[in-house]
Amino acid sequence: MKKLKPFLNIALGMLALLFAVTITSAEEMTKEKKPSKAALEKYDANKDGVLDEAEQAAQKADIAAKAKATKEANLAKYDANKDGKLDEAEKAAKKTDDDAAKAALKAEKEAKKAAKEAEKK
């Protein structure tokens, strides 16, 4: 029994830790996400610092419209066979373009950073 006591203490400690993490995770999931400053500036019509249901609905509608426009633009640009969806080859072409755009942005940021550092010297 004396040999099992350290293992039982460790097991109880781990169980307590697991319980604490579970409670913390549940609390974080129930917290409402606060809107960003940009979202408040754009959608907070009554300027009370909180997005009410109508303002949230307007935000969601804008997000949905932007997603639809992006999907339509992607289809127009990459849907070579005009079947209304992107097949694997079309997705690969889109990914290549997306990766190139990301690389260009990264290079631009690095160039600005290097220029800033050169100014400091």
- Whether residue 65 sits in one domain with residue 98: yes
- 77, 101: one domain: yes
Q: pTM for the full model?
A: 0.56
> Same domain, yes or no, for 27 and 41?
no
pLDDT value at 35 more than 90: no
d(CA 63, CA 78): 22
For residue 54, the SS3 value is helix
Measured in whole angstroms, the distance separating CA 50 from the mean position of its chain's CA atoms is 21
Check whether residue 73 and residue 14 sit in a common domain: no
Please answer whether residues 91 and 71 qualify as being in contact, where contact means their C-beta atoms are separated by less than 8 angstroms: no
Query: In the predicted model, is pLDDT for residue 27 greater than 60?
Result: no
Q: How many domains does the chain have?
A: 2
- Do 26 and 40 fall into the same domain? no
Q: Are residues 40 and 98 in the same domain?
A: yes
- Residues 72 and 78: their CA atoms lie apart, in Å, by 10
Pair 20, 38 in one domain? no
**Do residues 81 and 103 both lie within one domain?**
yes
Question: Domain limits at 86?
Answer: 34-120
Pair (41, 27) in one structural domain: no
More confident residue, 28 or 71: 71
Average of per-residue pLDDT across 64-73: 96
Same domain, 9 and 43: no
pLDDT of residue 26: 54
Shared domain for 115 and 76, answered yes or no, is yes
